[in-house]
Homo-oligomer: A and B are copies of this chain.
Amino acid sequence: MKITEIRLSDGRRLRYYDADGAPPRDAAADQRGLPPISTHSELRHDPLLDEWVMVASHRQDRTYKPSAQDCPLCPSRPGHSTEIPAEDYAVVVFQNRFPALAPAPAEATGWQHGSLASRPGAGSCEVICFTAEHDTPVAALPPAQLELVVQAWCDRSVALSRLPGVQQVFCFENSGADIGVILDHPHGQIYAYPFVTPRTARMLTSVADYRSRTGGNLFDDRLADELSDGSRVLLRTTWWTAFVPHAARWPYEVHAYPNQRVPDLAALDDRALAELPFVYADLLGRFGRLFERPAPYIAAWHQAPAGARDDFALHLQLFTIRRTSDKLKYLAGSESGMGAFANDIRPEAAAETLRALGSPLVAMDPKDAGEGAD
């Protein structure tokens, strides 16, 4: 993998990721002359839930559903300068122009008045374009292309986790207008949070409780319990296992784990890394075939936060809010008000449906995938 870094005209960093054998990179300069960005991101503490909320009012004016013609994530062409100055690219990562979190000015400080507290929303929000092709679904990208995506995730996760104050790096993809995606171009996001997120904090508490109660690792034992039960397992290769969890919250929800627990993407064994593009494309492909048109989805990579690597297990959480071809699962009073989820589809039924949608990929033969990685 080769990385070429440039600065956009407003000072944001952009990095091209190219395969080792790729021709020399066109690192054209950004011709747009954008004004420097001014962000005022703030973290506010909710004392009742003991959680931080990001307040970023500059985001209210962000780009909203441009036409394909005006896509800001396609390569630049004469007469249409985009976020990517080059006329082509493989994978590219750059700082979001409308970030929920951004490097804080040196003079920024926090405050506390009684139970109310605030601090700068220091961190980073990056955009990752998975391909230069506007219309190719992520599930249809060639394995070599997805391998480059995974390498970029690893590279940015390591780099961002070294920034002062960053506690956790989150690589994720939102796909589909039904969950508010405003740009069609295949892309994901990478957030570097200056706090441990609520979901991660709760997982760490559960894992620590379990360790002190049983001496074991909850992630390992749960994976073993799901395999032992078997009724919700979707795939099991030499390096990866994917299943619908026993207590799935969403109509179709899949968790995928490497068989050998590691804390984050960068810690994956080379062979688990090499198989990942096949597993990822296979799972996304099933979501693409669930309904008449592709299911909207969120693909979330859960990685260990700073200082809690020992007991954490890297995993992918993939889910859709669609429950039938024409019905969505809404988060209404019970979910949004109380955090109490009701799932209308039995996880075993969801697993059966998703199992039937698997593609007969060569890569799903564990031996082949393992050999391909050597």
Contacts and interface: CB of A to CB of B under 8 A. Distances in A.
Interface in A222-240: 222, 224-226, 228-229
The interface residues of chain A, by DSSP majority, are classed as mixed
Interface in A150-179: 170, 172-174, 179
Nearest to A315: B48
Nearest to A174: B332
Nearest to A99: B342
Nearest to A222: B115
Instruction: List the number of copies, as a whole number.
Output: 2
A100 B57 contact: no
A329 B44 CA distance: 18
A221 B344 CA distance: 40
A331 B179 CA distance: 7
Interface in A309-360: 317, 319, 323-324, 327-334, 336-347, 349
A247 interface: yes
A205 B55 contact: no
A217 B100 CA distance: 32
B55 A346 contact: yes
B224 A114 contact: yes
Interface in A170-198: 170, 172-174, 179-181, 189, 191, 193, 195, 197-198
Contact of A221 (B45, B114, B317, B324): B114
A203 B49 contact: yes
A171 to B, nearest CB: 9
A101 B343 CA distance: 11
A323 to B, nearest CB: 7
B341 A247 contact: no
B344 A59 contact: yes
A189 B333 contact: yes
Contacts of A340: 51-52, 54, 191, 193, 195, 197-199
A373 interface: no
Interface of A: 44-57, 59-60, 64, 100, 113-116, 118, 170, 172-174, 179-181, 189, 191, 193, 195, 197-200, 202-203, 205-207, 209-210, 218-219, 221-222, 224-226, 228-229, 245-249, 298, 300, 302, 317, 319, 323-324, 327-334, 336-347, 349
